[in-house]
Amino acid sequence: MIGERLQRARKAAGVSLRVLANQTDLSQTTINKFEKEKLTPSSSQLIKIAKLLGVRTEYFFRPPVIEMQPPEYRKKSTLSQKDLNKIQGDIFDQAERWHELLALYPISPIKSFSLPTSLPELISTQSQIEELAVTIRHAWDLGLGCIPDLIDTLESQGIMVISTSVENDQKFDGLASVVNTIPLIVVGGKWVGDRQRFTLAHELGHFLLKNRLDNTVDEEKLCDHFAGAFLLPKSTLISHLGEHRQNLEPRELYFLKHEFGLSMQGILFRAKQTGIIGKTTFECLLKLFSAKGWRKCEPHRPYPTENTLLFKQLIYRALAESYISESKAAELLGLPVIQFHQQRTLDFDSVTH
């Protein structure tokens, strides 16, 4: 158990065997034997290794509690294996702490995820994607307006959401997987809010479209289409822009972005998908976006980043119900006990929240 966790922590930290050996005054052979369970590190060696890898010593003794299905990634092809290892390490660590926390509750505090029974068995057209987005909104009582907090919405439906802020030069958007039967969506924590929300909706699309697609269609493209339709339904967009337009003002797209949390470029694509604008208008506006650099960075104020608070809330709930001790709560949050106590008592003069 220690060996597997040591290897995962080392890769997550982006540290080679050679570097770790040099920093711990151990040989590469010795560390390799630790990782292959042929040798067991002493307490002092483990403390030194933990410090260098940025984990608590408890990490090495945490019992294996998760099984994670192969994920669907949204990442750039230039993302290095080293950065991917870091992201995977962070995801596994957070998912393990999530499930350790849930196991402490006598009755699960989160809802079990289930799909509406009205979903079609086979999806092959864009019109079906538009209908699917509306069906999910109705099933979840979301109406057709803005979804103000998408992470909270997904969590309320039994989907675990993890935000990872591992440095990767913004080459990782997110992924979808299943951990111990619970759907998991991971999103990059350093993206602007509209990029995050599109990724969250895209990954939701993977769960909804699984085993429902015609073999002739591109799943990634349909998930992109679903993301736009879920965040900004066709009827809602038409009510704001009109049924047919010869042109659109960029300022209109900017206003809608901050109302619905979908990027200006995403709204432009939605206007074309829904037939509000034609191909010529779409291409002219897309050229304008390219000329102004808006395809990489949209103008003025960004849409706020979303964060997940459920994990922390459930830790404090478990603490209040005496399911866990203060030291265990601190461990799950990865904080020193003193710092956690200051946060628990709202001692903001001593520590920031």
- Residue 352: what pLDDT? 52
In this predicted structure, what is the pLDDT of residue 68? Answer: 80
pLDDT band of 351, cuts 50, 70, 90? low
Q: What is the pLDDT of residue 349?
A: 66
Domain ranges of the chain: 1-64, 67-322
Q: Which CATH number fits domain 67-322: 2.30.30.280, 3.40.50.2300, 1.10.10.2910, 3.90.1150.10?
A: 1.10.10.2910
Q: What is the pLDDT of residue 169?
A: 60
281-305, pLDDT tens digit by residue? 999 999 999 999 999 999 999 999 9
Q: Which fold has domain 1-64?
A: 434 Repressor (Amino-terminal Domain) (1.10.260)
Query: 195 falls in which pLDDT band (50, 70, 90)?
Result: very high
Residue 199: which residues within 8 A CB-CB, separation 6 or more? Answer: 74, 173, 174, 187, 188, 191, 227
pLDDT in tens, 35-63: 898 999 999 999 999 888 888 888 888 76
Distance CA(204)–CA(228), nearest Å, equals 12
User: What does pTM read for this prediction?
Assistant: 0.86
Hey, what are 298's tokens?
Answer: 């949209």
Quick one: pLDDT band at residue 348, thresholds 50, 70, 90? low
Pairwise CA distance, residues 284 & 23, whole Å: 57
Phi, psi of 74 (to 5 degrees): -115, 100
245-269 as b/e: b if 16+ CB within 10 A: eeebebebbbebbbebbbbbbbbbb
